[in-house]
Amino acid sequence: MRVTFLGTNGWYDTETGSTICTLIETKDRYIVLDAGNGIHRLDKAMTRGLPVDMFLSHFHLDHTQGLHILVKFLFLPELHIYGQPGTKEMLDRLVNLPFTVPIEKLPYPADVTELAEGRHDIGYKVQCLPLVHASPCFGYRFEIEGKVIAYCTDTGPCDNIITLGKGADLMITECAFRPGETSASWPHLNPETAIELAKKAGCKKLALTHFDAARWTDLKMRKDVEKMKDHFPDLIVGYDNHHFDI
- Predicted confidence (pLDDT) per residue in 108-132, tens digit: 999 999 999 999 999 999 999 999 9
pLDDT at 238: 98
pLDDT tens sequence across 127-177:
999 999 999 999 999 999 999 999 999 999 999 999 999 999 999 999 999
Which segments in the chain show pLDDT lower than 50?
none
Question: If you ran DSSP here, which 8-state letter would residue 149 be given?
Answer: E
- CATH code for the domain of 235: 3.60.15.10
pLDDT at 30: 98
* Cβ atoms of 94 and 83 closer than 8 Å: no
Q: How far is CA 25 from the centre of its chain?
A: 14
C-alpha 23/C-alpha 138 separation (Å) is 18
Range of the domain at 107: 2-245
State the CB neighbour count (10 A cutoff) for residue 90: 16
pLDDT at 222: 98
* Cβ atoms of 39 and 68 closer than 8 Å: no
pTM over 0.85: yes
Give φ, ψ of 152 to 5 degrees. Answer: -135, 100
C-alpha 129/C-alpha 138 separation (Å) is 6
Q: How many domains does the structure of the chain reveal?
A: 1
